[in-house]
Amino acid sequence: MGETQNAENAREQDINQLLKVRREKLEALQEKGKDPFRITKYDVTHHSLDIKEGFEALEGSTVSIAGRVMSKRVMGKASFCNVQDIKGNIQSYVARDSIGEESYADFKKYDVGDIVGIKGEVFKTKTGEISVHATEVTLLSKSLQILPEKYHGLVNTDIRYRQRYTDLIMNEEVKDTFIKRSQIISSIRRYLDSQGFLEVETPMLVSNAGGAAARPFETHYNALDEDVKLRISLELYLKRLIVGGLERVYEIGRVFRNEGLDTRHNPEFTLMELYQAYTDYNGMMDLTENMFRHVAQEVCGTTTVTYGGVEIDLGSPFRRITMIDAVKEYSGIDFDQIKDTEEAKKIADEKGVHYEARHTKGDILNLFFEEFVEEHLVQPTFVMDHPVEISPLTKRKPDKPEYVERFELFITCREMCNAYSELNDPIDQRARFAAQEEAFAAGDEEANHTDEDFLNALDIGMPPTGGIGYGIDRLIMLLTDSPAIRDVLLFPTMKTLEK
């Protein structure tokens, strides 16, 4: 133990000395009037990938690149360095005779991690590597910290998530994931815009956080001396816009749920909800299937994607099955044959499915689904027709009023979206809110509260409407083969470290 501690102390002393040297180098530059932090701009003409892909046209041309020095080899009068930018990295050949003796002396003192601008001629080395032969090297920012070793230093996931900036520098696949994230969201927007949808923005601070079963974060609005909540959903405001005559609307934005953290959940995440007048949940299924294919093809170049070593087929028609049929298939229990809540609880006891005293037959059907079915839904599957008890904002099925016109899409055993034929009957909606208030009083902290202004909007009249909510982060996980939600959030929620 003592030897380990001594080695750690020695390592810390070495690092402190290296950090001290970097600050001394900065001070020396500043004394000579070469403070890099006084430089305000640098004209970049090309990025690394542009030069590599366009080499035939660019060979012999002068280019200007900028980026972070990731490696450096000094060999007397000539040196090589590798510069990393947004599109990749490229080698630069830096010779004393090409940039001048004083500039070369400065360059030799630059550190890995420094940000430089390099102007020079595009050429190919004897070993065939496309490079830039520098004629000017400009130090644009001095790195006062030491980057981790490329293959050993940044494997601690906690540090990677807390210091995402370092993670992006050191792990190219991480940078690629977040570039793809941006492309996915842009592709979604293009698809919906092409279908006549209007992108809108609705409030994040609300007096009544409804539209989903989740506990909200609460805060106080000083100017109004009112307690307010962070939204848990986008639904109730978007539906108000449907009432107002905006027939197709969507919003992509952050929502906040005061719940736990795991591989699938983060307290703040990106949700997209869309609403379309004069359609139902069948229309939402068609739209979802088409949109998922569009985005996969546009961003990944294929409708067959690999997730966790399993091929997921987004090109074939998605399976459609009712919740009752799915539970019957995987548990052997047919809830159509169960008369009431008492019988449902008896069967749950026999099957070892835990429930709470307040749960009804519909709740228990959903518990059976979670227990026996979800783990089997690897390929795209629409699970339809949920019990009314767990769907307070959804239109009932005309021929089976204890169930509603709702579906959830599951891929890789995860819920990817949740959709309804929206409830537009204000009388039924008021009764559903009342049932939710009773559930809250009985101990359900995730139950919805009555929203009188929303009910007033429904009184004015909302057309038949299909609506859907997508967990954007989960879609990005699927299309980037990322195992945890933190891997697709630039800055995931982390417990603050004690100082």
Q: Give whole-number Cα distances, 363 to 88, 344, 355, 360, 485, in Å.
A: 51, 10, 8, 5, 28
Between CA 486 and CA 499 the distance in angstroms is 24
Instruction: Flag whether pLDDT at 192 surpasses 70.
Output: yes
Grade residue 487 by pLDDT with cuts at 50, 70 and 90.
very high
Is the model's pLDDT at 100 over the cut of 90? yes
Q: Which residues contact 99 (CB under 8 A, 6 or more apart)?
A: 107, 134, 135, 136, 137
C-alpha distances in Å from residue 175, one per residue of 55, 87, 168, 182, 296:
24, 9, 5, 11, 19
CA 50, CA 38: separation in Å to the nearest integer? 29
User: What percentage of the chain has pLDDT greater than the value 70?
Assistant: 97
pLDDT value for 19: 94
Residue 141 clears pLDDT 60, i.e. is over it: yes
pLDDT band of residue 29 (cuts 50, 70, 90) is very high
Task: Average the pLDDT over each of 1-10, 11-20, 97-106, 227-236 and give the range with the smallest value.
Answer: 1-10
The sheet with strand 248-256 has its strands ordered as 198-199, 248-256, 268-277, 465-471, 414-421, 406-411, 381-384, 319-322
- Per this entry, what is the length of the chain? 499
User: Is the predicted pLDDT of residue 33 greater than 60, yes or no?
Assistant: yes
Q: Which are the contacts of 323, defined by CB distance < 8 A and separation ≥ 6?
A: 365, 366, 369, 383, 384, 385, 386, 387
Structure tokens at 278: 């004069």
Give me the mean pLDDT over the 79-93 stretch. 98
pLDDT at res. 448: 78
> What is the pLDDT at residue 154?
58
Q: What confidence tier does 152 reach under pLDDT thresholds 50, 70, 90?
A: very low
> How is residue 390 annotated by DSSP?
G
pLDDT band at 12 (very low <50, low <70, confident <90, very high): confident
**pLDDT score recorded for residue 499:** 66
Q: H or E segment at 78? A: strand 78-85
pLDDT tier at 484 (50, 70, 90 boundaries)?
Answer: very high
Pseudo-torsion of CA 283, 288, 290, 292, nearest 10°? 180
pLDDT at 4 over 80: no
According to the model, what pLDDT value does residue 449 have? 85
Contact between 433 and 392 under an 8 Å Cβ cutoff? The reply is yes
Mean pLDDT of the chain: 94
Residue 69 has a pLDDT of: 98
pLDDT digits (tens, 9 = 90+) for 106-140: 999 999 999 999 999 999 999 999 999 999 999 99
**What are 386-444's pLDDT values in tens digits?**
999 888 778 999 999 999 999 999 999 999 999 999 999 999 999 988 988 888 888 87
pLDDT tier, 151 (very low <50, low <70, confident <90, very high otherwise): very low
Percentage, residues of the chain above pLDDT 90: 84
Instruction: Say whether pLDDT at 292 is over 50.
Output: yes
**Mean of the pLDDT values across residues 257-266?**
90
Number of other CB atoms surrounding residue 282 within 10 Å: 16
For residues 289-318, average pLDDT: 98
pLDDT for the residue 211: 81
Question: Would the pLDDT of 93 be above 70?
Answer: yes
